[in-house]
A and B are shown apart, each in its own frame.
Chain A
Amino acid sequence: DADVTQTPRNRITKTGKRIMLECSQTKGHDRMYWYRQDPGLGLRLIYYSFDVKDINKGEISDGYSVSRQAQAKFSLSLESAIPNQTALYFCATSDEDRWVFDEQFFGPGTRLTVL
């Protein structure tokens, strides 16, 4: 079984709809991250969480919100989706033992299309 799972894997939605992307992990890591990947732009950090009570904005948090329901679960919400949020979204985890933004382990990704 995969250590980091994301659901759904693909989603098509319409402008203005609320959508939630979910991430679960069995690695036992405290730190979890959400990124988006756009063609030719690399990955950009949306939000990150160091534990259940600690949520931090990343580089591009506008238009997104997150919830850390448990150590193993971190969800990303788009309250009112817009077409430029069409992208590939990755969840990642890292261990807490060393540093902020330690080596990360990525989920399989969710491809989101907003029409």
Chain B
Amino acid sequence: ELKVEQNPLFLSMQEGKNYTIYCNYSTTSDRLYWYRQDPGKSLESLFVLLSNGAVKQEGRLMASLDTKARLSTLHITAAVHDLSATYFCAVVTDDKIIFGKGTRLHILP
């Protein structure tokens, strides 16, 4: 059974700092997505990671995928307040898509 675990579930950090969100999953998968959700809003696609070693970057966010370790990371560089949101990873197997519980990121000015 595919299980997806994100950590931390809540993160409060200062502007300008770096941090990493982790997404671990339990079975073989070669596709992983990262989404962002602002409070009271819908989900927005951030990254699509398709293969082992994939790395994608957009602004201050960088996502990577290690399929052998069954781990994806979302790294935030020099955080700014605008990045405050909840971040979800979603892992796909042949017939399932399972979302993590989300990491609520609060960036303090």
| Interface residues in chain A, defined as those with a beta carbon under 8 Å from any beta carbon in chain B | 40-45, 59, 90, 92, 99-101, 103-109
Closest to B40 in A: A109
How many B residues, CB 8 Å from partner? 22
Please indicate the chain A residues that have their CB under 8 angstroms from the CB of B58 in the complex: none
CA of A103 to CA of B50 in the docked complex: distance in angstroms? Answer: 11
Asked whether A105 lies within 8 Å of B45 as measured between CB atoms, the reply is yes
Asked whether B45 lies within 8 Å of A101 as measured between CB atoms, the reply is no
CA of A43 to CA of B99 in the docked complex: distance in angstroms? Answer: 6
CA of A99 to CA of B97 in the docked complex: distance in angstroms? Answer: 12
Which of the residues B42, B97, B99, B102 comes within 8 Å of A107, measured between beta carbons? B42
What secondary structure prevails in chain A residues at the interface with B?
loop
Which of the residues A42, A45, A99 comes within 8 Å of B88, measured between beta carbons? A42
Please indicate the chain A residues that have their CB under 8 angstroms from the CB of B101 in the complex: 40-42
| Interface residues in chain B, defined as those with a beta carbon under 8 Å from any beta carbon in chain A | 4, 9, 31, 33, 41-45, 48, 88, 90, 92, 94-102
Closest to B89 in A: A42
Please indicate the chain A residues that have their CB under 8 angstroms from the CB of B88 in the complex: 42-43
Asked whether A90 lies within 8 Å of B33 as measured between CB atoms, the reply is no
Nearest-neighbour CB distance to chain A for B89, whole angstroms, equals 9
